[in-house]
A and B are shown apart, each in its own frame.
Chain A
Amino acid sequence: MRDGRDAARRATQRGAAPALVVRGLTVTFAAGRATLTAVDGIDFEIASGEVLGLVGESGAGKSLSGAAILGLVDAPGRVDGEVWLDGRRIDTLDPAAKRRLRGREIGAIFQDPLTALDPLFTIGDQLAETLRTHFRLAPDEARREAVALLQEVGIPGAAARYSQYPHQFSGGMRQRVVIALALAGEPSLLVADEPTTALDVSIQAQIVALLGRLARERGMAILLVTHDMGVIASVADRIAVMYAGRIVETGTAAEVIARPRHPYTKGLMASIPSLADDRARLAQIDGAMPRLGAVPAGCAFHPRCGVALERCTRERPVLVADAAGGAGATACWRLADG
C-alpha cells in the first residue's frame, strides 16, 4: 500500500503539494455476522488553498468520510485505507497523537454552531484557551491573537465581543466564532461538515464567502461536506459526488455542475429547482438510495439508472478519466464503454 505516499510525493514534485491525500478510505460496521460498508474505498486529494466539495444525499457516506479523516470514527466502526496529511500518514497514529492533530493540523466545523461552544465561558476565553493549548503564549498574547482571529472571521467590534457569551451571538456570528476556533491551531486542513445548513440563506452566503476567502488567504485545504449544490457551486474548486459510499464522479465545480456526466449526478442536478428555469415538473430519480447492507451488486446506482447495461448489474465500475480530455472522472460503465 505505497499508493498514498507515491501520490503525495508525485504531487509534491509537481509543486501542487496536496495537503490531504486519501486512498481507499473504507468505513465498515460489524452488525452481527454481517459487515455494513458505509464508505467503500474512496480516493481523493485536496491541494493547499483548494476547496473540495464532497456532495451527496443523506446516507451517501459523506459525513462519515469526514469523520474518518478526523479520526473520529469509534468502535464498532472500523476505518481502512490511508490518509496522508502534508506528506505524513495520519490514520495509523495512536489515539493521543490523533487527538493532538485535531484542532492543530486539522480544524473541524460542524452544522450546529451552538453545540460547538461552551455556554458557560465567554467566547474570548474559549478562543484564548484553544490558542494556549496549541502554542506557548502568555495570557495577553493569547488575548491579542484571539481578537485578531475574531476580526479575521468578520466579527464586528471583536475586542468588545471578546467578553460575551455564546448566547449573545446570532446563529451566523456563532458559526464565525466556531470557524475562528477551528483556525486557532493554524490547521493546514479544515473539515467543514454542513457548515451552513442550520443558517438562513442570507447568512449562508456570508459564511460560504468567508470560507472561500480563508482557503485562499491562508492556503488552507478545505473539505466541504454538504448536500447543497448551491453552496458547493459558490465556493468549491472541485467536486466529488458520493452515492452509496462511493465516489461516482469528480471534476471541477464548474464542469460537474454545468455538464454532469454520471447518470446519478445528471439526475441530481436536474431535480434541483432553480430560479433560472421554469419547468412544470422537476426531473426525479425514482426510488431511494439503498440502505446499508442492501447495496446492489455491480454499480450501486443501477436499479435507479435509466441507461444501465447488463454489465452494470454485475461489475462495480471504477473511476475513469474523461475520455474527451476534461479534468473529471466518472465511475460508470455506460460512459466507459462509450
Chain B
Amino acid sequence: MAPPDVATPRMRDPDERALVELERVSKSFDVSPPWLERTLQRAPRRALRAVDGVDLAIRRGETVALVGESGCGKSTLARIVVGLVDASGGVVRYDGSPLYGAGVAADAATLRRARASMQMIFQDPYASLNPRWRVGAIVAEPIVAADRSRSRASVAERVATLLEQVGLAAADRHKYPHQFSGGQRQRISIARALATAPALVVCDEPTSALDVSVQAQVLNLMADLKERRGLAYLFISHNLAVVHHIADRVLVMYLGRIVESAPRRALFAAARHPYTRMLLDAVPDPLRPKWRDAGDADGTGNGAPRLASELPDPLDVPAGCGFHPRCAFANARCRVETPVLLDVGDAHRVACHAVAEGRVAPRVAIPIAG
C-alpha cells in the first residue's frame, strides 16, 4: 500500500474533498409477478437494476450534471443521494462519513445534519408543492423541522428573506401555489430547498416543465445562488444544451451505469463514448440544425442522425456492454464483457472496449465556443 499522501494526492486540498461520495451504489427494484402467478406459472422473480455500481463524487461548489435518456436510472440515483430511495448496495458518504447504504447505520445527529445539507428540487412545480398550504408554510416546514425551538418570528423573517432571494416578494408567503405561474412555483421550490442552508441541491429536471424564457430565468437564478452561497448541484437532465450551459462536470448514464464522465468542455468538445456521441448528434439545436433536410435514403426516417433502434428493455439488459445492440463499433468482446470506466486523461473517464482498444478514433474536436 502506498503512503497516504501519494495514494490520495487531491485530499490535501480541502476544497477538493468530496462533499458527497457514492461508492458502488446499486438499486434493484423487485418487479416480480404476484406470488400466485409465480407459483402457478413457475415464473421466476424479476429484478430491475435501475442503478448498477455507480461511483460518484460531488465537491463543494461544483455542478455535476447527470444525463441520459428516460429509464436510464438518473432519477433513482438522485433520490438515493438525498435518501428518498434506499440503495440495495454500496455506500453514500457525506463529508467523509457513511450516511446511507447496505449495512450503514448512521447516528441520528449525523443524519439530521446531512439531510439539512442536501435538499432537492423536483421536475414538476405543480405536483411538488402542497396546493392546500400557503407558500409561507411550505418554505417554513424544513426550517422548523431542522430546528424546532426556533421562534415563529424568526422563522417568518427567514421565509421572507428566502422568498426575496429567489426573486419573489415577502408578501407572497400569504398566497397559495395555484396563484403562481410555473416559473414562480419553481422559485418557491428553490426557496424551500434553500431553507436549511444546504451545501448540495439535487435538481431532477428542474426546468423541463418550463418554457424556455422561464427556463432562462430559473437557470440564471441557480447560477447566482451558486455564486453567492457556494452551492453544489447535482443536476439531472436529458437536455444536453442546458447541461452544457450549467455543468462543471458531466456524467453520462446508460442502463444504470455511468458510461462516460468528463469535465464539461472535454465532454462536449471531445466525447469518446459512442453513446455520448449519439446523444450529442441528436440534440435539436436551433443554431446548429445539423440534420436538417437529412438524406433519408434508407427510408426509415433515421436520416443523418443514424441512430440504431431504441433503449433496450431495462428488464432484459443486453449482456456485456448494455449499449452494444445500438453501437456501430461493437464486436464480440462488447457482447460478453461489461466495460469498466477507464481513465483516458484529464479527468476524462470512459467505459468502452472500443475506446480502450483504439477502435474509436478520438474525433476531431467539434468547434464549440469556449
Contacts and interface: CB of A to CB of B under 8 A. Distances in A.
Q: Do A and B come from one complex?
A: yes
Interface of A: 57-58, 151-154, 156, 170-173, 176, 200-210, 212-213, 227-235, 257, 267-269, 271-286, 288-289
A209 B305 contact: yes
Contacts of B284: 201, 204-205, 208, 228, 230-231, 233-234
B95 to A, nearest CB: 29
Interface stretch (B22-30, B189-197, B292-300): B292-300
24 contacts: A154-B299, A170-B311, A171-B310, A172-B310, A201-B69, A201-B282, A202-B279, A203-B307, A209-B294, A209-B301, A212-B294, A230-B284, A234-B289, A267-B213, A271-B212, A273-B244, A275-B240, A275-B280, A275-B283, A276-B285, A278-B369, A278-B370, A279-B245, A282-B219
Contact of B301 (A206, A231, A269): A206
A307 B246 CA distance: 29
Given A201-B282, A202-B69, A230-B283, A281 B220 contact: yes
A173 B310 contact: yes
A104 B190 CA distance: 48
Contacts of B289: 230, 233-234, 257
A304 to B, nearest CB: 9
B283 A229 contact: no
Contacts of B303: 205-206, 209, 212-213
B245 A154 contact: no
Interface string B211-237: 111111101100100000000000000
B302 A277 contact: no
B14 to A, nearest CB: 26
B299 to A, nearest CB: 7
B177 interface: no
Contacts of A57: 211-214
A269 to B, nearest CB: 7
Nearest to A267: B213
A325 to B, nearest CB: 24
A213 B369 CA distance: 32
A285 B212 CA distance: 10
A272 B291 contact: no
Interface-central residue, B223, B240, B287, by most chain A CB under 10 Å: B287
Contact of A286 (B217, B286, B288): B217
B57 interface: no
Contacts of A173: 310
Given A201-B283, A275-B241, 19 more contacts: A57-B214, A152-B299, A200-B69, A205-B303, A205-B305, A205-B307, A209-B291, A209-B296, A212-B296, A233-B287, A273-B216, A273-B239, A273-B241, A273-B242, A274-B285, A275-B283, A277-B370, A278-B369, A285-B213
Contacts of B294: 209, 212
Interface-central residue, A154, A269, A284, by most chain B CB under 10 Å: A284
B212 A234 contact: no
Contacts of B302: 154, 206, 209
Contact of A281 (B223, B278, B301, B370): B223
A157 to B, nearest CB: 12
A170 B314 CA distance: 12
A207 B301 CA distance: 7
A284 B210 CA distance: 13
Interface-central residue, A173, A201, A284, A288, by most chain B CB under 10 Å: A201
A210 B301 contact: yes
A219 to B, nearest CB: 16
Contacts of A201: 69, 238-240, 279, 282-284
B135 to A, nearest CB: 17
Contacts of B283: 201, 230, 275
Nearest to A217: B296
Nearest to A176: B301
A58 B238 CA distance: 20
Contacts of B238: 200-201
Contacts of B241: 230, 272-275
A272 B307 contact: no
A252 to B, nearest CB: 12
Interface string B8-42: 00000000000000000000000000000000000
B206 interface: no
